[in-house]
Amino acid sequence: MRATSRSAPGEGRASIVEAGYELISELGYASATTARICARAGISSGTFFHYFPTKIDLLVGILEADATDSKLQAEALNSLAAESAEAGLQAWLEALLEEAGDPHLAGFVAALGAAGRDPRLAELLADAASLQEKKLEAIISAGQQQGLWRSDLAPGRLAVWVGVIADGLLSRTVEDPNFAAVQGADELRDLIDRYLAH
């Protein structure tokens, strides 16, 4: 999950998504009332309910906004990796570290767990994991074609394990507020480089 781009108060759906993400992360799912979200977004309750009939719908909207951003990022990474897989991997790592550095990440993950079960949330989270793997697979495939990385395993298999490293980083970030992923960026890059090396 990444922070959404900053929008001005009263900009409708985007401002609700941003305010909702921040408040749900800061206060928890139950305490982030629609009134508080409306106040932070600078919109009326009527505008809120026009876009999101329930708070669960807002959670879905937050994940959908993140999915849209992730798809755009995947396209950009694919283009970059086609030119230079190393540059593509570096851009992917920077995005991962940016996500790990998001001060709202841990709170939002906790809020998702507290929100109850909704099949739309589960589907969006599964789609996000799949897209992450596809991004990595495209970068690794490009690197293999460019002769940079090992080719004894298929790109998809290598992507699974690099994804495990990424998931571990994000899990540690969520579970340990003192863990500073950005400070270990060089070690993370070294770990992935060693795994992908011939």
Tens-place pLDDT, residues 94-107: 999 999 999 999 99
- Residue 169's pLDDT is 94
Q: Looking at the predicted structure, is the pLDDT value of residue 57 above 50?
A: yes
Q: Looking at the predicted structure, is the pLDDT value of residue 11 above 90?
A: no
Where in the chain are the domains? Answer: 56-196
What is the residue-averaged pLDDT of the chain? 92
* Beta-carbon contacts of residue 167 (< 8 Å; ≥ 6 apart): none
* Beta-carbon contacts of residue 8 (< 8 Å; ≥ 6 apart): 15, 42
Q: Over range 185-190, report the average pLDDT.
A: 94
The pTM score is 0.88
Q: How far is Cα 43 from Cα 68, in angstroms, rounded to an integer? A: 23
Topology of domain 56-196, CATH: Tetracycline Repressor; domain 2 (1.10.357)
- Residue 113's pLDDT is 87
The torsion angle over the Cα atoms of residues 129, 57, 21 and 167, rounded to 10 degrees, is -10
* Beta-carbon contacts of residue 129 (< 8 Å; ≥ 6 apart): 163
Tens-place pLDDT, residues 170-179: 999 999 989 9
Query: What separation, in Å, do the N-terminal and C-terminal C-alpha atoms of the chain show?
Result: 32
